[in-house]
Amino acid sequence: MDSQDSVFRWAVDAGAFYTGLVFQSSASRYCTTESVFDEVKHIKKSQGAIEVLLESNSLQIINPDKKSIEKVFSAARRTGDYPRLSEADISIIALALQLEVPLITDDYAVANVATTMKIPVKSLATRGITHTIKWITYCSACGRTFGATAKECRLCGNTLRRKYKLI
């Protein structure tokens, strides 16, 4: 991590923009990724609020390196959250990992993957994550388990369900 990166206090996903957190405190320094920014750049567009954050360096847009993204993919596959994560979700977890900063999110799948990677997570509007889980995709008819992206049992054709176990 270089010295420029250490000035950030928080990596933020789209929820921090939707709840207005990033607009409330000019003292905090936030970073996000281009993918997250693309999701939220319409917020407060007419007032120029996001532009003010960018110009004052209260918000910086940084894309994570490939190594961090690969680590997130691997962790998301282990927890079974991979099918539920968007490109923006993966990028913001990877950025928090790369910069070694806490992550602000209310998305449980994002929080679950980040927590298993030892990234501190802060929740805004929800109670937050209380335990980490691993999703298991299974057939309720024959009991077989499948990978996280499977939709139908290859043996009996039933629609698969998901359950979790604590990790």
**pLDDT per residue as tens digits for the range 23-80:** 886 667 999 999 999 999 887 664 578 888 888 888 999 999 999 999 999 999 999 9
In this prediction the pTM is: 0.78
- Distance, in Å, from the CA atom of 49 to the CA atom of 32, rounded to the nearest integer, reads 15
Distances, alpha carbon 121 to alpha carbons 50, 75, 79, 90, 101, in Å: 23, 16, 16, 14, 9
Residue 88 backbone phi and psi in degrees, to 5:
-65, -40
More confident residue, 85 or 145: 85
- Distance, in Å, from the CA atom of 132 to the CA atom of 76, rounded to the nearest integer, reads 12
- Distance, in Å, from the CA atom of 111 to the CA atom of 156, rounded to the nearest integer, reads 34
Task: Find tokens 């994550």 and name the residue.
Answer: 129
- Distance, in Å, from the CA atom of 138 to the CA atom of 77, rounded to the nearest integer, reads 16
Structure tokens, 165: 């176990």
User: How high is the pLDDT of residue 128?
Assistant: 65
Asked if the model's pLDDT at residue 153 lies above 60, the reply is yes
